[in-house]
């Protein structure tokens, strides 16, 4: 890691980044960086940047580095060296072109997966440093178009997918009607005061994957859970603003989410199978607002399913008998340690489980996380080719017989679908909820 890095400033065209660059001056770039370094670059930034000795031990942890034939530019420490280091060293006096390249690195060459933290002898969190670069990019208005559009949706609708207030309610009622065709006494209780559980989801569920809400309702019904869903904004737990560097909007989203549960007086929030949203509600967003932990217990679907099976709330009509493997999502495994609970649920519901390697907290990221997939089509090829090791890992599991990948995270689904398709792996991807829905006794079923 002592040799100098190539100084290739070529970047992928992006309307958001290019449009912002056209309006920026080096003076404004310097001023914004100086302000942020002074006001927000506290002890954590200083310790991380001044402690790194560029030993390179983080390199082998990074799927981008491994997948790009160990190109040193993709080593985690090198990403800092290409972005934040010159900004600090030159006190913000970097060019607009430099910022474009820094923006591309921070937004599309790091999934903020925190795998490298485990390999750093000092525990330096590179994802924090990349988020700091993104924070600078946000304050310069230089954010990839697709994810910025998502951030705008968050601000205007308080959800990720421009879902309007009536569309949300209508979707829930539609899913309830659909589910009642199968289970006549099923309900999706809206705005119920004092329920044990508020169930929250991410924007793409009502928009593209409404059947997941249906499945969740069936699982809640079968387990006899006292639950509700809100009919107001605050239902969406997702948060791309956390990844665009818009901390203020992230805080607003988390406030409305938690206060919705407080208004409904639910005892806890159970969330669907999403990783990044969990990071936002359990770690980053809540703390930005001053809550040391989530103000109400925040339970990820993996943990919830685990509880239901552990406590005998669900019984099985059959076991899922297609051999499968598990992809451990970064944010709920490295971020929360839910990997054994996921395996408990799989062993309960499936006949043949095949571990992929590495696994648990050492698993490779799907390549979609950290908002990378949300940066959209301009970066899709780079993203998928930057995660060849994931394809190799999946192929090895497939060689042992796995035909299905369980990925209890929405972004992981998107990322793995792209990898499976690009590398022609011919594997199916499922949520844990898909398996549970398929296998449980559902109660009164309308024939």
Which residues lie near other proteins (CB under 8 A)? 15-16, 19, 39-40, 138-139, 141, 145-146, 148-149, 152, 155-157, 164-166, 169-170, 173, 180, 184-185, 187, 189-194, 231-233, 246, 248, 251-252, 255, 259, 262, 265, 267, 287, 289-293, 295-297
Cα separation of 170 and 325, whole Å?
A: 36
- Our CB check for other proteins shows the closer of 69 and 185 to be 185
- Our CB check for other proteins shows the closer of 267 and 347 to be 267
| Neighbour tally for 347: CB within 10 Å | 12
Query: Which is nearest to 49 in space by CA: 145, 122, 114?
Result: 122
Quote the least distance from Cβ 295 to other proteins, whole Å. 4
Q: Could you give the maximum distance between any two Cα atoms of the chain, in Å?
A: 71
Quote the least distance from Cβ 148 to other proteins, whole Å. 5
**Range list of H helices, 109-164:** 126-139, 145-157
- Our CB check for other proteins shows the closer of 149 and 307 to be 149
- Our CB check for other proteins shows the closer of 226 and 392 to be 226
Quote the least distance from Cβ 288 to other proteins, whole Å. 10
- Our CB check for other proteins shows the closer of 19 and 337 to be 19
- Our CB check for other proteins shows the closer of 52 and 251 to be 251
Strand order in the sheet with 298-300: 227-228, 197-200, 268-271, 298-300
Beta strands in 170-244 (DSSP E): 197-200, 227-228
Quote the least distance from Cβ 373 to other proteins, whole Å. 16
What's the N-to-C CA distance of the chain in angstroms?
66
Cα separation of 199 and 187, whole Å?
A: 13
- The alpha-carbon radius of gyration of the chain (Å, integer) is 22
Query: Which is nearest to 227 in space by CA: 154, 153, 313, 320?
Result: 313
Sign of CA dihedral 14, 144, 203, 129: positive
- Our CB check for other proteins shows the closer of 189 and 323 to be 189
User: Which tokens hold the place of 153?
Assistant: 């949706």
Quote the least distance from Cβ 265 to other proteins, whole Å. 6
CA 331 to chain centre: 7
- Our CB check for other proteins shows the closer of 145 and 363 to be 145
Quote the least distance from Cβ 297 to other proteins, whole Å. 7
- Our CB check for other proteins shows the closer of 265 and 347 to be 265
Quote the least distance from Cβ 103 to other proteins, whole Å. 14
Distances (CA, A) of 257 to 139, 271, 277: 25, 11, 11
Quote the least distance from Cβ 337 to other proteins, whole Å. 20
Residue corresponding to tokens 């946000």: 138
Distances (CA, A) of 71 to 6, 28, 224: 10, 32, 53
User: Which tokens hold the place of 350?
Assistant: 């499936």
User: Which tokens hold the place of 216?
Assistant: 């969740």
User: Which tokens hold the place of 73?
Assistant: 């530019």
Quote the least distance from Cβ 261 to other proteins, whole Å. 10
- Our CB check for other proteins shows the closer of 267 and 421 to be 267
- Our CB check for other proteins shows the closer of 250 and 419 to be 250
- 248: which strand partners? none
> 3-state DSSP call for residue 229?
strand
Quote the least distance from Cβ 130 to other proteins, whole Å. 20
Residues 134/374, Cβ–Cβ less than 8 Å: no
**Contact residues for 446 (Cβ-Cβ < 8 A; gap 6+):** 181, 182, 183, 184
Quote the least distance from Cβ 84 to other proteins, whole Å. 20
């Amino acid at each position: 890691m002592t040799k100098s890095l190539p100084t290739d400033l070529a970047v992928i065209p992006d309307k958001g980044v290019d449009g912002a660059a056209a309006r920026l001056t080096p003076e404004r770039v310097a001023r914004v960086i100086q302000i942020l370094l002074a006001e927000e670059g506290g002890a954590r930034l200083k310790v991380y940047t001044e402690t790194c000795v560029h030993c390179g031990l983080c390199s082998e942890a990074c799927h981008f580095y491994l997948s790009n034939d160990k190109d040193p530019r993709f080593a985690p420490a090198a990403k800092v060296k290409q972005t934040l280091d010159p900004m600090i060293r030159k006190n913000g006096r970097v060019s607009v072109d430099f910022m474009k390249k820094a923006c591309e690195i921070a937004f599309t060459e790091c999934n903020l997966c925190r795998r490298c933290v485990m390999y750093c002898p000092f525990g330096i969190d590179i994802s924090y440093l990349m988020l700091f670069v993104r924070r600078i990019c946000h304050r310069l208005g230089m954010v990839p178009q697709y994810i910025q559009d998502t951030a705008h949706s968050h601000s205007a609708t308080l959800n990720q997918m421009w879902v309007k207030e009536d569309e949300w309610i209508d979707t829930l009622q539609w899913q309830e009607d659909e589910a009642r065709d199968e289970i006549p006494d099923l309900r999706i209780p809206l705005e119920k005061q004092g329920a044990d559980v508020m169930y929250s989801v991410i924007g793409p569920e009502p928009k593209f994957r409404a059947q997941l809400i249906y499945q969740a309702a069936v699982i809640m019904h079968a387990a006899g859970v006292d639950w509700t869903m809100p009919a107001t904004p605050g239902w969406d737990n997702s948060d791309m603003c956390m990844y665009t560097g818009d901390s203020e909007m992230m805080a607003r989203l988390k406030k409305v989410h938690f206060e919705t549960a407080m208004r409904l007086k639910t005892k806890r929030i159970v969330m669907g199978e999403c990783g990044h949203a969990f990071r936002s509600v359990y770690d980053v967003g809540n703390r930005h607002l001053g809550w040391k932990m989530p103000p109400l217990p925040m339970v990820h679907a993996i943990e919830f399913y685990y509880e239901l099976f552990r406590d005998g709330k669900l019984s099985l009509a059959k076991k899922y008998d297609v051999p499968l493997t598990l992809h451990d999502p970064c944010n709920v495994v490295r971020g929360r340690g839910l990997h054994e609970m996921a395996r408990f649920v799989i062993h309960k519901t499936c006949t043949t489980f095949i571990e992929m390697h590495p696994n648990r907290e050492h698993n490779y990221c799907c390549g979609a996380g950290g908002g990378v997939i949300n940066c959209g089509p301009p970066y899709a090829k780079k993203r998928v080719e930057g995660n060849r090791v994931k394809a190799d890992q999946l192929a090895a599991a497939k060689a042992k017989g796995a035909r299905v990948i369980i990925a209890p995270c929405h972004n992981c689904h998107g990322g793995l679908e792209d990898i499976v398709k690009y590398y022609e792996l011919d594997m199916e991807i499922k949520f844990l909820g898909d398996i549970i829905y398929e296998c449980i006794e559902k109660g009164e079923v309308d024939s």
